[in-house]
Amino acid sequence: MMHALIAEASISHSLEQQLGLSSGVALLIATFIHAFLLINFFAVVPLFFIWLERKVSGRIQDRLGPTRVGGRFGWLQGLADGIKLIQKEDLVPKAADSMLFRMAPYIVCVASFGAFMFLPFSDGWVAVAADIGLFILLAILSLEVFGIILAGYASGSKWSLYGGMREAAQMVSYEIPVAICALVPIVAVGSLNLNEIGAFQSGWFFNWLIFHDPFCFLAFFVYFTVATASCKRAPFDLAEAESELVGGFHTEYSGMRWSFFFMAEYASMFLVSAVAAYLFLGGWHTGIGPLDDLFVSLRNSSAASGEFEVGSYLANLIGMSVIVVKGSLLVFVQIWIRWTFPRLRIDQVMMTCLKYLVPMSCALFLGAVIWPLLMARMTGNTTWKEPLGKKVSVARPEKAEESTEGREVRQ
């Protein structure tokens, strides 16, 4: 299932079978292909969202936003920003701890990128398929804060130190409700495997986990709030509050190192949104029953032959675009929130988390656990939608039933 840190997959399998490479070399090449695809995605996503952020903020403030670079909508603005940032001088302040100062942006980036390894982009399109994918994803994402704190400390500046401290306090508190809210849909599905969670929600959109029970419905909004906060997005962006701390933890950074922080921030915005799409909003399913059935039959039509599976490939491509669209819409909501709400004070941020969001998520978790028992007692029916991935087998060819989790990036 989980092929350790190397993403052994059907890519490596096909390299072995068709090109006759030795298994080690095939594995190495497959790993590089996975990493290459993901790192490009990881780089392009922030580029797009930074442009979107500028455009949306412009529109919300009754401006046009970028219009000059790249046509009417300024869609090359992100690239222009990138070129500018590459040319900038890489400064390290005298008071800084230069090793940690240089290291911090990489830690942030690597943590954000590492989490992408476990995010499926469609049914089986995942670099590393793991049985407990969601757990590993959240665990790796939690390392991001370490880089931010190091950046704050190593800069040797008061503003940065305050930013880093706020970030540490905020993240340590907000990780708790994120994890507990993520558990609410997990209770309904009975698996931590993101692939199984996605496959569980096939059919019409009322099969999505957000409509599974009232607790899941509420948990989505709590999750989205805490996920926004855990990406240190406004109104929770106390770590970089410009009005108080100049730039917060990144005050002393310039050039590419500075941009690494923002690449990681926008990438993890997409990441938590995609996770929300998996946990609550149907994963790669469009939510229109007949349409999804069509894609499943497209997938199955070519599954019988051992050749290059065009149908399966197309179905996965559609699934991937559904996930990207869902994730992007949620990122859009995050941007919308940022430019609509005023920033909270640090004590308000902490109070929101510890006094409201943590008890709320605990109550939702408790409710989600009791709900199935209650429903079974009230209706006398214990055969509602069965957890533990039993439903998974419906959407795929019989052959793949047991090795659901073993399927990885195809072609």
> Which lies closer to another protein via its Cβ, residue 145 or residue 245?
145
Closest CB 254 distance from another protein, rounded Å: 22
Nearest to 105 by CA among 258, 301, 2, 226: 258
Question: Binding to another protein by residue 152, rule CB under 8 A?
Answer: yes
From 76, 168, 303, 333, residue interacting with another protein (rule: CB under 8 A): 168
Q: Which residue stretch of 158-166, 243-251, 257-265, 298-306 sits at the interface with another protein (rule: CB under 8 A)? A: 158-166
Specify the 3-state DSSP secondary structure of 122: strand
Question: Binding to another protein by residue 21, rule CB under 8 A?
Answer: no
Q: Which residue stretch of 78-86, 171-179, 282-290, 340-348 sits at the interface with another protein (rule: CB under 8 A)? A: 171-179
Distance, CA of 284 to CA of 327 (rounded, Å)? 11
Q: Which residue stretch of 20-28, 199-207, 322-330, 337-345 sits at the interface with another protein (rule: CB under 8 A)? A: 20-28
Binding to another protein in span 189-208, by CB under 8 A: 192
Count Cβ atoms within 10 A of the Cβ of residue 321 and give its class: 0-12 exposed, 13-18 middle, 19 or more buried.
middle
Letter string b/e over residues 57-90, b meaning 16 or more CB atoms within 10 A of that residue's CB: ebeeeeeebbeebeeeebbbbbeebbeebeeeee
In the chain, % helix, strand, coil (3-state, to 5) comes to: 70, 0, 30
Q: Which positions from 382 to 401 touch another protein by CB under 8 A, shown as an x/- string?
A: ----------------xx-x
From 132, 320, 337, 375, residue interacting with another protein (rule: CB under 8 A): 132
Distance, CA of 72 to CA of 140 (rounded, Å)? 39
- 284: its two tokens: 């790669």
Task: Give me the residues that bind another protein (CB under 8 A), please.
Answer: 1-6, 24, 27-28, 97, 99-100, 103, 130-132, 135-136, 138-140, 142-143, 145-146, 149-150, 152-154, 161, 164-165, 168-169, 171-172, 175, 192, 398-399, 401-403, 405-406
